[in-house]
Amino acid sequence: MEFGLLLKGFATVLQPTSLLLILMGVVGGILVGSLPGLTATMGVALLVPFTFGLPVEQGVGMLLGIFCGAIYGGSISAILI
């Protein structure tokens, strides 16, 4: 039974709409994280309004993309400056 739920979760995440929103979150997170002084947590807080109209699964996926992108974006400004 739990294996079926796992497959259902993968099917939800691998939908094209979900993947596009995760990609948009990563790009937005990289933009926020690359700015000096803005952290990943602040980036998530700033970009939360973009997820208000989305279904729960897609909104959480986008927030995870924002967070991961901001962590990576923070390394850009740390290495180059």
DSSP per residue, 42-78: HHHHHHGGGGTTS-HHHHHHHHHHHHHHHHHHHHHHH
The count of structural domains within the chain is 1
Instruction: Please tell me what DSSP assigns to residue 8.
Output: H
pLDDT of 81 > 70? The answer is no
Cα distance between residue 10 and residue 8, in whole Å: 5
Which domain covers residue 21, as residue numbers? 2-80
**57-81 mean pLDDT:** 89
pLDDT of 1 > 80? The answer is no
Question: Could you report the per-residue pLDDT of 4-57, keeping only the tens digit for each?
Answer: 999 998 999 999 999 999 999 999 999 999 988 888 999 899 889 989 999 999
Q: What is the pLDDT of residue 19?
A: 95
Residue 10 neighbours by CB distance under 10 Å: 9
